[in-house]
Chain A
Amino acid sequence: MKVLVPVKRVIDPYAKVKANAEGNGIDTTGVKFEINPFDEIAVEEAVRQKEKNPAITITVVSVGPDAAEEQLRKALAIGADEAVLIQTDEDLDSRAVAHELAAFAQELQPQLILMGKQATDNDANQAGQRLAAKLGWPQATFACAMEFAGDNLTVRRETDEGEETLSLPLPAVVTTDLRLNEPRYIALPGIIKARSKPLTKRPRLTDVKSQVRTVKVEQPAPRQAGVRVNSVAELMAALRDRGAL
């Protein structure tokens, strides 16, 4: 059984970032990049499923710059079997990424696409849903548990109303939530083994253009110091002055 895990190269979510000089993006000098943490959970889940069922083969794919090889190697070190880098230096929007992934999935024919519910850089939370729609496959988003059951997949997902359990026929798209698992430490022998696993680079499969354009990126205004008031009356007056009441 083939499992496809798309992973995105993102700025380390714990890094302190600032706007670049042109004001159209983030200044990436000296900034560390990581696998999108939700995607790392997807890789971990795929590897855990493979440990239960050795017939699974895991392909990781990234749509991004050459440097994304680093994140793909990490996914291989965690336990994926092969990696594909669809090369582009453009910052594609969710729709364009979904088109790319759909074209790749039609070629690979996986039974399951497992991916992060969103990427921590732009938090769009769209690629998985758009991909499922494009392929016409069932989808389960925000998975917090999953299990194969015959030809179906059982997925528990967290919603505002409570926990939902879904049964999906395969092939399907599942997007992962934080609680699905906790990614393992990457064992050193796995890192060495990843060096010899196949990593293929290829050009884009479609010519779909981004429809979303980043117009401006700016630093949030620094927070102003507060004012101390001594009584409720003073507080009310201050609020009235500022037009808050």
Chain B
Amino acid sequence: MEQGGSFFGTTPARITTVADTSSDERLMIETAEQFSLNEVLPLVDRLEKQEPGLMPSLIRKAGDLGLCGIDASDQYGGLGLGKNLAARILEFMSLDAAFSVTYGITSGISQLGLTLFGTDAQKAQYLPRLTSGEWIGAYCLSEPNSGTDALSMTTRAEKRGDHYVLNGTKMWISNAQWADFFLVMAKVDGEHVTAFLVEKSMPGVSISREEHKMGLKGSSTARVILENAEVPAENVLHEIGKGHQVAFNALNIGRFKLGAMSMGPARQAIMHASGYAQDRKQFGQPIAEFGLIQQKFADMAMFYFVAEAMLYRTGANIDRAFETMGGTPDGNRKAAEEYAIECSACKVFTTEAEAAIVDDCIQVYGGYGFTEEFPVARIYRDARVSRIYEGTNEINRIFLADRLVRKLGDGAKAAGDSFISELAGRTMAKFDKNQEILGACSDLLILTFAEQSARLRAQQEGEYGQMCYDRFLNWAQPRAAIFAQRVLGEAVALPAPRPGHTEPLARRLYETRRPS
């Protein structure tokens, strides 16, 4: 088994890729895709208007098909299938981003704290209702003045007899309007961060009006207001003062899953744009035949290939970590932490790949792409938040460099590894001054992980993969050189470019057009 962070310095013999999907798993993914195509996408305009009851009814339908409990344990109504398959399914449940957020949170991060740290009684009480889709779940960490600096939260919990009294406001809470169940972080006595299992029906819990968002308009985002909210003492999840373990480990896995949630809308945008490019004629021929349009599709193919390579390698490793270390709250915590670096790398790379893809798709549509008459404008607006939530890409960059130094630092320093020592000198303690260089180090690490994942996937998957890998090197090497220059302060030579395979890659994407 690969160890977390070990991509830096060692190369495994092979990695798990989408080509390793079994026929059973393919059937499940097909169910997810059919569900998105037939149940979700036709309702997108009505969902965007937040028609009452519509989104919860879709979640219930997904629950009836077993889609809301893929990685929860089968004792509690889940299927116990693991996080990698859950992410693959999530990719295909994410063709519409607003549905994807609702589904992703109720089937993922809202349940995850319970499955990792819950007691049997807590799991039995809440998981079956969440895995069936009867209840919708939410995850409450951020506050109006506490976002990236999450531990500065001011929501308080005071013990009164057999219950805790919670006071505070949680902000940017996805699913707030529809949720029956909230995983809430609060400080006991204003000091000890602790996770609480809160029901909407508990006294003192209320929801503000909806935020007026740029995108994801079909999803619910509002504040959860706790005014002397009464939560039974048995609803403390894990231990008093260890809420950060619940919050951050749910976030580690959440970041990995967000990667899959970003690729779904990107896939959808590509399919729309590839159809448009082949239908739209200018100068007497489809614009799909023009080199600069093909260039965009070839880039999209490359980004998609590399993002998937990183994601499903990481997911398989996370599953193996849970198999070998998991089972107890402490083991689960270690398993969820093991690949924190890779989870952050996946989050940053895939969300930036998504941004590049949807941006190019708008460009393919030209002026029509700038109107709401065509579906790509919505996908573009929806995609913007991917680089912001589950930890901004900036904090993820800081975090992953810091983690790698802590994980490998001492050994590497002893071995005189200049890159690690460079990083080690610039970790959290001093990052105020050195953030830009720390960021460049992180980018190098992300590109290293991306390059290695893409290379191994290409070796395993033949010609198409090799074309994507060549194109990726042409894209990545100049970037890596810039980041390396920033760190080293001196010029870095570039290797010769490889063939870009523009036309064959573009034509592969043209075949993916959705039948209209």
A residues whose Cβ falls under 8 Å from a Cβ of B: 14, 16, 69-70, 73-74, 77, 185-189, 191-192, 194-195
Contact = CB atoms under 8 A, between A and B. Distances in A.
Interface string B502-514: 0000000001000
Interface residues of B, number: 17
A244 to B, nearest CB: 27
B35 A185 contact: yes
B511 A186 contact: no
Interface of B: 23-24, 27-28, 30-31, 34-35, 64-67, 70, 79, 81, 511, 515
Given A14-B515, A16-B511, A192-B79, A186 B24 contact: no
Contacts of A185: 31, 34-35, 65
Contacts of B30: 186
Contacts of A69: 23
Given A185-B35, A187-B64, A189-B79, A77 B511 contact: no
A73 B81 CA distance: 18
Contact of A195 (B24, B64, B66, B70): B24
A187 B65 contact: yes
Nearest 3 A-B pairs (CB), nearest first? A188-B66, A70-B23, A187-B65
Contacts of B511: 16
Contacts of B31: 185-188, 191
A69 B27 CA distance: 13
Contacts of B28: 188, 191
Contacts of A70: 23
Contacts of A186: 27, 30-31, 65
Given A14-B515, A16-B511, A188 B23 contact: no
A160 to B, nearest CB: 28
Given A14-B515, A70-B23, A185-B34, 16 more contacts: A16-B511, A69-B23, A73-B23, A73-B24, A73-B27, A74-B27, A186-B30, A186-B31, A187-B64, A187-B66, A188-B70, A188-B79, A188-B81, A189-B66, A189-B79, A191-B28
Nearest to B33: A185
A225 B161 CA distance: 84
Contacts of A73: 23-24, 27
Nearest to A194: B24
Contacts of B70: 188
28 contacts: A14-B515, A16-B511, A69-B23, A73-B24, A77-B27, A185-B34, A185-B35, A185-B65, A186-B27, A186-B30, A186-B31, A186-B65, A187-B31, A187-B64, A187-B65, A187-B66, A188-B31, A188-B66, A188-B79, A189-B66, A189-B79, A191-B24, A191-B28, A191-B31, A192-B24, A192-B79, A194-B24, A195-B24
A163 B222 CA distance: 55
Contacts of A194: 24
B515 A188 contact: no
A115 to B, nearest CB: 21
Contacts of B35: 185
Contacts of A188: 28, 31, 65-67, 70, 79, 81
A187 B511 CA distance: 29
Contacts of B81: 188, 192
B462 to A, nearest CB: 9
A191 B85 CA distance: 14
A77 B31 CA distance: 11
A187 B61 CA distance: 11
Nearest to A32: B26
Nearest to A30: B464
A65 to B, nearest CB: 14
